[in-house]
Amino acid sequence: MFVVWYDRRRGVGGAHRVGQETTTGMCNLSSAVVTADGLRWRQDRDGMPIDPADRSKQRLAAGGTAFVSTDANGLGLEVRDDDESVDLAFEGFYHPVPVWNSPEAEAVAQTIAPNHAESSGRARGLWGSATRSSTLMRSITATTRGGPRLVDHHQPPLVCRNRWSASVVFGHRATGAGVPVDPRWRDSRRRKSRAGRILDIVPLVEADGVSHRGGTAVWNLPSGESLTMRCTTTDGMIFRQKDFVLIETICEVRLDDSHDVGFCNLEMSNGIGRRKVSQALRAVAVNGLPRRPRR
């Protein structure tokens, strides 16, 4: 399970993933919090034994990060670390829906994440670090997924308060072929959902070849209307799942020339593979409490 959240007014957000492999009895953890003014916290660990207490209908956890069932039968997030703590409760704008929504994408999904669904909503709760704490009440985007098997991919799910949300995915297979996944555009207030067609996704990759400054995504709706999403990086985090490297990046996002500002997680994998990434210009790549260098 994976969740990303961001409070724009306070300039703090996080990305948290817990994975458990019941066949091997092992689990992995990717958990990070970043702030607009340069504070960073990350824990990225693999190959940990599953604690029986961390796997139940009410709890999915690894290494101090846990997804839990709330009293209202919703989703909660708990992070417990000597340097960081998070307590959030999520309220979805809609029930989770499948990400894979084209015949080619469905075929690829059988080897990637056949049960991959996503939802967007609101998060409320508390965040605290070794140097500051805050009460949070902003929007989040959440997604559940399995183990990726693409060479690389770009995925910017986005949400603007309770007004609109979308999920846009483009994959690049080992054969060299591209795998576009038709985006879903949702008007959360009217509870309407519309399919679209991807025209272009362009990340602005940094000189390090790993992190990025944001990017744009353009797609068409059945009505003929063209939508352009413009993302600007707040900060990112680098996670590893075995030999697979993911760059998760919290971005502020504007739709066309709208005055509404939301956020997205512009996720990339870049086909990095077995390469060890220990530093990047716009993403935290090491565990602990590193401070973001001045740009």
**Can you give the pLDDT at residue 147?**
32
**Can you give the pLDDT at residue 139?**
47
Residue 229 lies in a domain: yes
Read off the pLDDT of each residue in 9-24 and give the average, rounded to a whole number.
89
Radius of gyration of the chain (CA): 18
Residue 289 lies in a domain: no
Average pLDDT, rounded, for the chain: 79
CA-to-CA distance for 34 and 53, rounded, in angstroms? 29
Residue 286 lies in a domain: no
**Can you give the pLDDT at residue 158?**
67
pTM beyond 0.85: yes
pLDDT at 137 over 80: no
Residue 187 lies in a domain: yes
pLDDT at 87 over 80: yes
Residue 283 lies in a domain: no
**Can you give the pLDDT at residue 120?**
82
Residue 228 lies in a domain: yes
**Can you give the pLDDT at residue 144?**
40
**Can you give the pLDDT at residue 161?**
61
User: Minimum mean pLDDT among 50-59, 128-137, 199-208: which range?
Assistant: 128-137
Domain of 110 in residue numbering reads as: 2-268
Residue 198 lies in a domain: yes
Residue 115 lies in a domain: yes
DSSP per-residue letters across 206-271: -TTSS-EEEEEEEEE-TTS-EEEEEEEEEEEEEEEETTEEEEEEEEEEEETT-S-EEEEE-EE-TT
Count of structural domains within the chain:
1
53 phi and psi angles, rounded to 5 deg: -70, -15
